[in-house]
A and B are shown apart, each in its own frame.
Chain A
């Protein structure tokens, strides 16, 4: 019977993770972001 081969996975599952710097950016962004809801308008403020 014909044997089916699958191509070797180039990227290991363990490597499929975001870089730490990406996560750091997201967390820093979250800490810096303030949102003020003012009736129908919402203001986004990113603090440095």
Chain B
């Protein structure tokens, strides 16, 4: 006896009528195309399995609710559902990116918290206080240039205009300021690193 191959529409109709085997046939007929379509978008086997499963959960619900209409073909309709679910997947991941841990790579080794912890902050504050005291010991003209450059972020051209000296003089004063600062650091045995 030759068994007739049922069309998708007939299988859908049978499934809606309560024939669960019809769904099995539909899945086996189209599983590879649907799976390959999803995989071509997400490139991840686990995600593909999830989207494939969710696609058919949606298909089942729609068919059982009687909301399916025969305007389109079954396969393009299922592909459209999976396409929408793939979009949902990417939207969800955009909001909440997932980083998968690989065997030889620990994400925590490269992720750092930019903020300083309490001890580090205290050391930084202390360094700034010490540096401020050392700067106060510099000759006035050198201290003036150094403060304008470091703390007020003025260019040497601006410093030369404010102090009414040439740029070269301002540069020279800055150079001597740094040399003298290093001497003071050495003399006072101050550690300026954290």
Q: What residues on A are CB-neighbors of B115 within 8 Å?
A: none
Kindly state whether residue A18 has any CB partner on chain B within 8 Å.
yes
Kindly state whether residue B72 has any CB partner on chain A within 8 Å.
no
User: What residue of chain B has the Cβ atom nearest to residue A16's Cβ?
Assistant: B36
Q: What residues on A are CB-neighbors of B57 within 8 Å?
A: 26, 29
Chain A contact surface mostly? mixed
Interface size class of A (residues with CB under 8 A): 20 to 34
Kindly state whether residue B13 has any CB partner on chain A within 8 Å.
no
Are B49 and A13 in contact, CB atoms less than 8 angstroms apart? Answer: no
Chain B contact surface mostly? helix
Are B20 and A30 in contact, CB atoms less than 8 angstroms apart? Answer: yes
Interface residue ranges of A13-33 to B (CB < 8 Å):
13, 16-19, 22-23, 25-27, 29-31, 33
Q: Which of A26, A42, A44 contacts B27 (CB 8 A)?
A: A26
Are B20 and A31 in contact, CB atoms less than 8 angstroms apart? Answer: yes
Kindly state whether residue B175 has any CB partner on chain A within 8 Å.
no
Number of residues from B at the complex interface, CB < 8 A: 21
Kindly state whether residue A11 has any CB partner on chain B within 8 Å.
yes
Q: What residues on B are CB-neighbors of A44 within 8 Å?
A: 61
**A26, A35, A42, most chain B CB atoms within 10 A:** A26
Contact of A18 with B31 at beta-carbon distance under 8 Å, contacts A30-B20, A37-B65, A42-B65 already known: yes
Kindly state whether residue B68 has any CB partner on chain A within 8 Å.
no
Are B61 and A35 in contact, CB atoms less than 8 angstroms apart? Answer: yes
- How far is B33's CA from A13's CA once the two chains are assembled, in angstroms? 10
Are A23 and B60 in contact, CB atoms less than 8 angstroms apart? Answer: no
User: What residue of chain A has the Cβ atom nearest to residue B66's Cβ?
Assistant: A37
Q: Which of B24, B31, B56 contacts A17 (CB 8 A)?
A: B31
User: What residue of chain B has the Cβ atom nearest to residue A19's Cβ?
Assistant: B49
How far, in Å, is B191 (CB) from chain A's closest CB?
Answer: 55
Query: Footprint of A on B, CB under 8 Å?
Result: 20, 23-24, 27-28, 31-32, 35-36, 39, 48-49, 52-53, 56-57, 60-61, 64-66
